[in-house]
Amino acid sequence: MLDTALLIVREEGVDRLTLGHLAARAGVSKPVAYDHFGTRSGLLIELYKSVDIEQVNALRSALTTGERSLEETVEVLAATYIHCSVDTSGERHALGAALTGSEEKGAVYQELLDGYVVLFAAVLKPHSTLSPAELERRCVGLVGAGEALSAAMVRGSCSEAEAAEAFASLIQGAVRAPVG
């Protein structure tokens, strides 16, 4: 049913994703959809998690192959993070926006963003002299910047290459300890 839900979001938008509509498109009864997800919020959460797991796996896969210099690490991190938004054609951002509508959904969305912060900090730690706490704070900002650049790219404000280049520049600057 998650595949059908994602198809609905791609074709009709996140606002059209209801349990009743999902049931009809998936060829199941409404009670089956309600038993599986409980509520529309439950459906949105599960769909966002399934889309998000693909991005996390792509990032981990790209970042766990061999040792890299800071420049190579930054380039791979930025390009892969931005590219995942291309792969999802904007539905990840639409689902994320829909998740911010309630405390329950917002908490799940924040938990997923926090996972990226941990991943970024782990990948960048070998290349930074910052304290772990400072690196983590900067990674919070980087994840926010990555989300904003991805959204700008999905809206057509910049190309994938431009977004990745800007993101790489931000990452590079954030990892360096301040002088003096």
Residue type, 73: T
Instruction: Assign a CATH topology to domain 51-175.
Output: Tetracycline Repressor; domain 2 (1.10.357)
DSSP state of 179: P
Using CA atoms, how far apart are residues 110 and 46, in angstroms rounded to an integer? 14
With bands split at pLDDT 50, 70 and 90, how would you rate the model's confidence at 88?
low
pLDDT one-digit tens code per residue, 141-173: 999 999 899 889 988 999 999 999 999 999 999
User: What pLDDT, on a 0 to 100 scale, did the predictor assign at position 45?
Assistant: 87
* R_g of the chain, CA atoms, integer Å: 18
Mean pLDDT in residue range 94-102: 73
When comparing pLDDT for 177 and 42, which is higher? 42
In CATH, the number for domain 1-38 is 1.10.10
DSSP state of 18: -
Does the pLDDT value for residue 90 go beyond 70?
A: no
Using CA atoms, how far apart are residues 78 and 83, in angstroms rounded to an integer? 8
Crossing angle (nearest 10°) for helices 103-124 and 40-63:
0
Per the prediction, the chain carries an average pLDDT of 87
pLDDT one-digit tens code per residue, 101-145: 677 777 887 888 898 899 999 999 999 999 999 999 999 999 999
Domain layout of the chain by residue ranges:
1-38, 51-175
With bands split at pLDDT 50, 70 and 90, how would you rate the model's confidence at 91?
confident
User: What pLDDT, on a 0 to 100 scale, did the predictor assign at position 64?
Assistant: 75
Using CA atoms, how far apart are residues 41 and 43, in angstroms rounded to an integer? 5
Mean pLDDT in residue range 80-85: 84
Does the pLDDT value for residue 52 go beyond 60?
A: yes
35-44, 64-73, 110-119, 153-162: segment of lowest average pLDDT: 64-73
36-50, 70-84, 166-180: segment of lowest average pLDDT: 166-180
Mean pLDDT in residue range 35-63: 85
